[in-house]
Amino acid sequence: MNAPSPASAIRFQSVIKRYRKTTAVDQVSFDVPSGVVFALLGDNGAGKTTSIKAMLGTVRIDGGSIRVLGCDPVADSVALRHRIGIVPEQPSLYDWMTVDETGWFAAGFHAEGFLARYRESIRRFGIAPGKRIRELSKGMKAKVALSLATAHEPELLILDEPTSGLDPMVRREFLESMIERAATGQTVFLSSHQINEVERVADHVALMKQGRLVHCESLESLKRNTRELLVNVTDTGVPSPLGGDNVISANRTGRQWRLLVRDVTDSQIAEIENSEFVDRCSVNEPSLEEIFVGYIGESMSTDDGMPQPRPQSDDQPLAPEVSS
């Protein structure tokens, strides 16, 4: 019998993983709530694959703790294998097998019903079951890998860069199927460096940079609470019109300040607009990519991994610092 799913499908607490001199995962903590699509974003080398390997128990961590579906990924790896589906960055399939033989082979490791569900998935993807794996395109192989990862109806599906190298149509198909999965209560954890495409499917997003967790939040709250302020000031010497913890990033081009801010109230915006050094202030909704560029571009790592506001100019802000 499977244990009941805990509220957190995955829990990282101060996880550290070092490879010789490289700290690939550096004090990372996050919770993946059950039943959501959770996207871990970051550039090459950010530590995404290492985090996935750690949650699968295929690398041993050097510090902290990990729970996956309430279990220890190393001690409970066999039990977890039946509750998790994995689509690795480069699926390892036997080239000489046919698509159907691949499913038949994998079915040997799983409970009854696996092969029927695998065949149904392959049929829906429109892949010929008699084709050999070596004859498949990259997109078709990815679909076979997804069919294998889901035919045992796992509670948690983990995908490492699932759309890398796929054409736009297949990428869309793949990501949309993740939303369907989450709608049935399955938890989907995926890593990606494609912020834009993840924006359409993820409920929660986490951002890593050089092993550190820069930010983690539900997409809805991130987008609701973050704003871009474009402030035209009277002179190029006028400092940032806002400072404090609410400023994610501040950049000046000529007489215009571009501020990425959080939790800023209407009265704070009115205060900026009414400043004698401000000509005009407009408020926009930034894209997820713009928000993350703000966090990554301006962030300074601190002990808790959170970014510090760091205006590019050394000038003091015009308006008083904003408290939340």
Instruction: Kindly list the residues in this chain that would bind ligand ATP in the complex (CB under 6 A).
Output: 19, 22, 24, 42, 44-50, 193
Minimal distance in Å, beta carbon 24 to ligand ATP? 3
Rounded to a whole number of angstroms, the minimum distance from the CB of residue 46 to ligand ATP is: 4
Taking the C-alpha atoms of residue 261 and residue 264, their distance in angstroms, rounded to an integer, is 7
Instruction: State which residue, 89 or 279, has the beta carbon closest to ligand ATP.
Output: 89
Cβ-contact 187, 38 below 8 angstroms: yes
**Closer of 46 and 322 to ligand ATP (Cβ):** 46
Nearer to ligand ATP, 90 or 282 (CB): 90
User: At closest approach, how far in Å is the CB of 172 from ligand ATP?
Assistant: 21
Comparing CB distances to ligand ATP, the nearer of 65 and 90 is 90
User: What are all long-range contacts of 292-301, with beta carbons under 8 Å and residues at least 24 apart?
Assistant: 292/41, 292/195, 292/207, 292/215, 293/249, 294/248, 294/249, 294/260, 295/207, 295/214, 295/215, 295/248, 295/249, 296/207, 296/209, 296/214, 297/249, 298/248, 298/249, 298/250, 299/209, 299/214, 301/212, 301/214
Concatenating the DSSP letter of every residue in 181-213 gives: HHHTT-EEEEEES-HHHHHTT-SEEEEEETTEE
Beta carbons within 8 Å of 56's beta carbon, 6+ residues apart: 68, 73, 77, 84, 86, 158
Strands 187-192 and 212-218 come out as: unpaired
Q: Which is nearer to ligand ATP, 191 or 246 (CB)?
A: 191
Q: Based on CB atoms, which residue is closest to ligand ATP, 10 or 250?
A: 10
Map residue 238 onto helix, strand or coil.
coil
**60, 95 contact by CB (below 8 A):** no
Q: CB of residue 62 vs ligand ATP: minimum separation in angstroms? A: 13
What are the helix (H) ranges across 15-155?
48-56, 77-81, 99-107, 114-125, 138-150
Q: Least distance (Å) from ligand ATP to the CB of residue 49?
A: 3
Closer Cβ to ligand ATP, 47 or 294, answer by number: 47
Q: In angstroms, what is the minimal distance from the CB of 181 to ligand ATP?
A: 22
Write down the number of H helices and E strands in the chain. 10, 13
Q: Which two tokens stand for residue 147?
A: 């069919």
Give min distance, CB of 126 to ligand ATP, in A: 29
Question: Smallest distance from the beta carbon of 228 to ligand ATP, in angstroms?
Answer: 27
The two tokens of residue 142 are: 């990815």
Closest separation between CB of residue 11 and ligand ATP, Å?
19
Q: State how far the Cα of 228 lies from the Cα of 247, in Å rounded to an integer.
A: 10
Select 43 or 321, whichever has its Cβ closest to ligand ATP.
Answer: 43
Nearer to ligand ATP, 211 or 307 (CB): 211
